DNA sequence: TCAACGATGTGACAGATGTCATGGTACTTT
DNA sequence: AAAGTACCATGACATCTGTCACATCGTTGA
């Protein structure tokens, strides 16, 4: 019997998956949660064999859950199920020691199969991503990432300086660095590129 | 027997919903499609009672499907199921004559219920949105919307002028209009606001 | 200790952007 | 016919942005 915990913030999908997986004779669903923090409480109390989780959730992200599991040395293996085919996400997930990374574009029938394979110790990566995993590494520094995020929301250099405690000129220097690293021609394009690659 | 067509581009969700709905004794799923165009072919050939559809899909959007159904006078009633709680989307959906608008945050059990209510002639709107429906109307002209979309991707005024066949100064005037209508302080913030409200 | 390095900051300049006044055309409404 | 309402355009100006050279300061490694 493979014991599962589900973490997914889209209720419709979570409910549908829970019903569907519950139909499989060899699965037992211990809990389904819509945020990372309550899922973590469940996992800690009674570690399941497999955690099936989204990445972007309120509270803790799926990747942070995987890191916590690794840190505490729990037996639980993590299977990420996400919308985003972004190399940066996959890279961070691998570093966090996840055992599987599927896309929500995958056919539903593949999920049960992937869960069984992960449970038996295999590693499952969405084929679309298998190669991209070894794509370019994230070139951004933490500061550049932080400022790019602020710029993305429409703040100007002065406002960014205010909220980040830097000088106006320094902000422009960092954004300039980000722009040139990403081959963009302005901060907007830079933010778009970084987001597409999963670096934001 | 309620005949259904499903249109949803996330295969995992589509598959899970199809399996789940197929379990209901009074539902019959005629087709499940991942793009608007092939769903439209199915609907035209043999109009179902209900179309359950996402909004953002390749080919045709769910709203465009609803418009096509209305235009051709088919008996099919449309139930939108989307991630986006944006007043603008809801407004456009209502204008297209949809019978229901649910969020993917809704519990899975609500979907079958909503389908039955729509089939019996009721109108079902996600409660979170019932009020927002009467929110501010979209203040943007088509041109402003178009240029805002281009600006959002990081093109500068010159590039936008090139791809849209306008003069550089005209582009800035339109963006200025959009910025002031939306109470933003630059084009980036304007694009963000418009997107959040569902006007982009 | 000293050099190297990274994070932060300044000043200057060209070019892009936001703002405003102004004017033209075409289409609709009254 | 007159007024109103998009739409398209130009010119001018202040401000913001992107770029670059250079300076400061603290930490780290040799």
pLDDT grade for A133, boundaries at 50, 70 and 90: low
Q: What is the pLDDT of residue A138?
A: 78
Predicted local confidence at residue B133, as pLDDT: 56
Provide the pLDDT for residue B129: 79
Overall average pLDDT of the B149-170 stretch: 90
Task: Give me B145's structure tokens.
Answer: 């919307």
Q: Give the CA-trace dihedral at B130, B134, B139, B141, to 10 degrees.
A: 70
Residue in B11, B95, B15 with CA at minimum distance from that of residue B57 = B11
Q: Establish whether the CB of B186 is closer than 7 Å to any nucleic acid atom in strand D.
A: yes
- Which pLDDT belongs to residue A185? 92
pLDDT in the model for residue B134: 57
Let me know: does B82 contact B193? Beta carbons within 8 Å: no
pLDDT band at A128 (very low <50, low <70, confident <90, very high): confident
Q: What is the pLDDT of residue A12?
A: 94
CA distance B100 to chain A (A): 16
Considering only the beta carbons, identify the residue of A10, A14, A108 that sits closest to B19: A108
B166 Cβ contacts chain D strand, under 7 Å: yes
Q: Is the pLDDT of residue A42 over 90?
A: yes
- Residue A122 has a pLDDT of 92
Average pLDDT, chain B: 90
pLDDT at B135: 61
pLDDT of residue B197: 84
pLDDT at A177: 92
Query: What number of other Cβ atoms are within 10 A of residue A116's Cβ?
Result: 16
- Is the model's pLDDT at A84 over the cut of 90? no
Distance, in Å, from the CA atom of B161 to the CA atom of B112, rounded to the nearest integer, reads 48
Task: Please count the helices (runs of H) and the strands (runs of E) in chain A.
Answer: 10, 6
Percent of chain A with pLDDT over 90: 74
Per CB distance under 8 Å, which residues of A are interface residues toward B? 9-20, 81, 83, 102-109, 111, 151-156, 184-186, 188-192
Confidence of residue B199 (pLDDT cuts 50, 70, 90): confident
If one compares B129 and B28, the residue with the highest pLDDT of the two is B28
Picking from B109, B156, B189, the nearest residue to A154 by CB comes out as B189
Q: What is the pLDDT of residue A134?
A: 58
Q: Tell me, what's the pLDDT at A88?
A: 77
Question: Smallest Cα–Cα separation from B103: which of B54, B38, B162?
Answer: B54
pLDDT attached to residue A135? 63
Annotate B156-189 with b (16+ C-beta within 10 A) or e (fewer). bbebbbeebebeeebbbebbebbbebbebeebbb
Average pLDDT (A62-79) is 94
The pLDDT value recorded for residue B62 is 94
Contact A12, A23 (CB under 8 A): no
Name the residue with higher pLDDT: B132 or A97: A97
For residues B161-166, give the mean pLDDT: 88
- Express each pLDDT in B40-96 by its tens digit: 999 999 999 999 999 999 989 999 999 999 999 999 999 999 998 877 788 888 888
Average pLDDT, chain A: 91
Percent above pLDDT 90 for chain B: 60
**Chain B residues with beta carbon closer than 8 angstroms to that of A111:** 12
The answer to whether residue A16 scores a pLDDT higher than 70 is yes
Average pLDDT of the segment spanning B151-175: 90
- Cα separation of A170 and A161, whole Å? 8
Give the residue from B4, B52, B50 showing the smallest Cα distance to B27.
Answer: B4
Q: Which residues in chain A are contacts of B106 at CB distance < 8 A? A: 11-12
| Contact status, residue A41 vs residue A69, Cβ threshold 8 Å | no
Residue B99 has pLDDT above 90, yes or no: yes
Q: CA B70, CA B75: separation in Å to the nearest integer? A: 9
Task: Choose among A197, A200, A153, A143: nearest CA to A175.
Answer: A143
CB A87 within 8 A of CB A135: yes
* Orientation angle between helical segments B168-182 and B157-164, nearest 10 degrees: 110
Residue B41, pLDDT score: 96
Determine the average pLDDT of the residues in A2-13. 95
Cβ atoms of A184 and A193 closer than 8 Å: yes
C-alpha B172/C-alpha B161 separation (Å) is 9
How high is the pLDDT of residue B119?
A: 95
Question: Per residue in B126-146, pLDDT tens?
Answer: 887 766 555 667 788 888 888
């Amino acid at each position: 019997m493979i014991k599962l915990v589900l973490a997914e913030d889209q209720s419709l999908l979570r409910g549908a998956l829970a019903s569907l997986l519950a139909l499989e004779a060899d699965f037992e669903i211990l809990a389904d949660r819509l945020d990372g923090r309550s899922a973590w409480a469940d996992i800690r109390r009674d570690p399941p064999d497999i955690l099936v989780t989204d990445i972007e959730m309120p509270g803790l992200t799926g990747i942070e859950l995987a890191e916590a599991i690794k840190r505490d040395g729990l037996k639980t293996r993590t299977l990420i199920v996400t919308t985003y085919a972004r190399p940066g996400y996959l890279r961070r997930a691998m570093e966090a020691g996840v055992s599987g990374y599927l896309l929500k574009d995958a056919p539903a029938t593949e999920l049960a199969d992937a869960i069984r394979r992960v449970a038996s110790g295999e590693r499952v990566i969405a084929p679309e991503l298998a190669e991209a995993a070894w794509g370019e590494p994230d070139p951004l520094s933490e500061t550049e990432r932080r400022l790019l995020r602020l710029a993305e929301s429409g703040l100007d250099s002065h406002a960014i300086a205010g909220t980040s405690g830097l000088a106006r000129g320094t902000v422009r220097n960092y954004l300039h660095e980000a722009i040139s690293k990403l081959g963009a021609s302005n901060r907007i394009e830079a933010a778009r590129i970084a987001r597409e690659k999963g670096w934001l």
